Amino acid sequence: MSSTLYAGVARRVINPKIGTAMGGLRLFSSPIQAIESDLTATVLVLSNETTKVAVAALDLAVFSPAEGLAMRENMGNAIGVPATNVMLNLSHNHSSPCLPNWVPDTEEQTRLKTRYRDNLNDWLVEAVQEADSRLQPARIGAGWGESDIGIYRRETGPDGRDVLGEVPDHPIDPAVGVVRVDDLDGNPIAVLFSYGCHPVTVGPRSMVASADFPGPARDVLEKCLGGTAIFLQACGGNINPRPGIGYEVDCRDVKGRIGMELGSEALRVAAGVRTHLEPGDRIPLGNIPNILFRPWRNVQGDTCTYLGAVEETIGLEFGNLPSREEARRIRDQWSAELERRKTGNARQWEIRVAARFAEWSENLLAAAEADHPTLDLEAQAIRVNDIVLLGMNMEIFFETGLAIKARSPLRHTLPLGYTNSSISYLPREVDYPEGGWKLGEIYHVPDLLFQSYGVPVAPRPDAEEIAVDRVSALIRKLA
């Protein structure tokens, strides 16, 4: 394996055409009326001449596994690597368009979203090719900070049921992971920073495309430090921003403040990471023996001790599925309800919800008729030196991220959700309601409303524990 690390970075603006709808079912479902701030895709390519990987960060909320795989394959083909070596991390920004495979929609919206998906593929291929063409010798380092911009969002309401709210005294994972990629003189090429929190400070009344708080956080780093800043969404499945979901039509003030808080902490950590210099032994200056100085000396040795990528599909078993007869009854019920809403006076979001539930009911029937259906968690690990990015294609809770970090043998482990696609939440066993998840219940927190993702039923309560075991083993393959 080569001892020299090379790095290159590139960015593309990925704004949709005005009128393209966002990805929500009720909230964040309106067509985009303006571009509040540019959506971007930023790609970092790392190579040691024998192995090459690409990490892309996108200001988008969700896309399907098929769409994610197609993008990764196209990017990989463009630089001569397999899809396993290409990682796509979604910020899970709700003020962004969705792709056509996410939720059934009108013919016009399907056309707009398909056009957007095609453009997105082109932009990503352009960006990865440009980043690859900019490869230069580099060094890499990492550090950690803390931010309290997030708040635990699963609140118990007056009736004892869970609601989407805020619990200020509940612990969170405040970790801000920072990875600094420099040229050999210590000048930043790229700074990656991760944090787990839903980007929803720009609320549903805004009806704009916005990068939300990761945008101004990146701005802080780029304006103060230089290089290209890359936000990676960590394990924020049960974390919202401290101010909550934006209520105002103009949410720029809160977005900017939260972003600057996060960016400032990432900047503080990045400023303390030196890749080209290290402190030497203390020595006197000239003939002054009673004052000791610690001179900086150039870092020696290999700039790349390891570069590699692995991935694995982890089939998580579902909980109790209904009988085929019950599943058919539910499918017929939602099919009829969808037609009723289409031909009646239902509002567009009501039709969209019915379309999603109709699609979900088809998936429910298919699962009931299948031999051994599973919810497929796609896990991918990319390691460079003592740093590993562990991506999962689900909305991961912060507690799961903490468990993964605790079990990792590598010095710097950054667990990431929303990677390569997003297929569902992954609650822990203790997050399930008393008596277990029930098919006919409509839950007040989205992490139990699996129908919104089109998932037939909840996975077994031990699914999260199994996932932690398997992804920890995946990291050990690289360690």
What percentage of the chain reaches a pLDDT higher than 90? Answer: 86
Considering Cα of 363, then 365, then 368, then 370, what sign does the dihedral take?
negative
Q: What DSSP letter does each residue of 281-302 carry, written as one string?
A: --EEETTEEEEEE--EEE--S-
The predicted pLDDT at position 161 comes to: 84
Assess whether pLDDT exceeds 90 at residue 108. yes
Q: What is the distance between the alpha carbons of residues 65 and 326, in angstroms, rounded to a whole number?
A: 28
The predicted pLDDT at position 162 comes to: 86
Parse the chain into domains and list their residue ranges: 5-276+376-407, 311-374+443-478
The predicted pLDDT at position 466 comes to: 98
Model pLDDT for residues 57-66, shown as the tens digit of each residue: 999 999 999 9
150 Cα distance to chain centroid: 15
Model pLDDT for residues 351-409, shown as the tens digit of each residue: 889 999 999 999 999 999 998 999 999 999 999 999 999 999 999 999 999 999 999 99
The predicted pLDDT at position 199 comes to: 98
What percentage of the chain reaches a pLDDT higher than 70? Answer: 100
The kind and range of the H/E element at 136 are strand 136-146
Q: What is the distance between the alpha carbons of residues 40 and 200, in angstroms, rounded to a whole number?
A: 17
Closest residue by Cα to residue 342 from 45, 105, 141, 51: 105
Residue at token pair 């039509």: 249
Q: What DSSP letter does each residue of 235-272 carry, written as one string?
A: S-TTEEETT-S--SS--HHHHHHHHHHHHHHHHHHHHT
Half-sphere exposure (Cβ direction) of 305: Cα atoms closer than 13 Å = 11
Q: What is the distance between the alpha carbons of residues 383 and 309, in angstroms, rounded to a whole number?
A: 6
Contact 266, 414 (CB under 8 A): no
Assess whether pLDDT exceeds 70 at residue 2. no
**Residue 116 identity (one-letter amino acid):** Y
Q: How far is CA 304 from CA 51, 125, 186, 196, in A?
A: 11, 26, 16, 28
Residue 471, φ and ψ in degrees, nearest 5: -70, -30
Average pLDDT, the chain: 95
Cβ contacts of residue 355 below 8 Å, gap of 6+? 103, 104, 105, 338
pTM (2 d.p.): 0.96
Model pLDDT for residues 305-329, shown as the tens digit of each residue: 999 999 999 999 999 899 999 999 9
Model pLDDT for residues 213-256, shown as the tens digit of each residue: 999 999 999 999 999 999 999 999 999 999 999 999 999 999 99
Q: What is the largest CA-CA distance in the chain?
A: 93
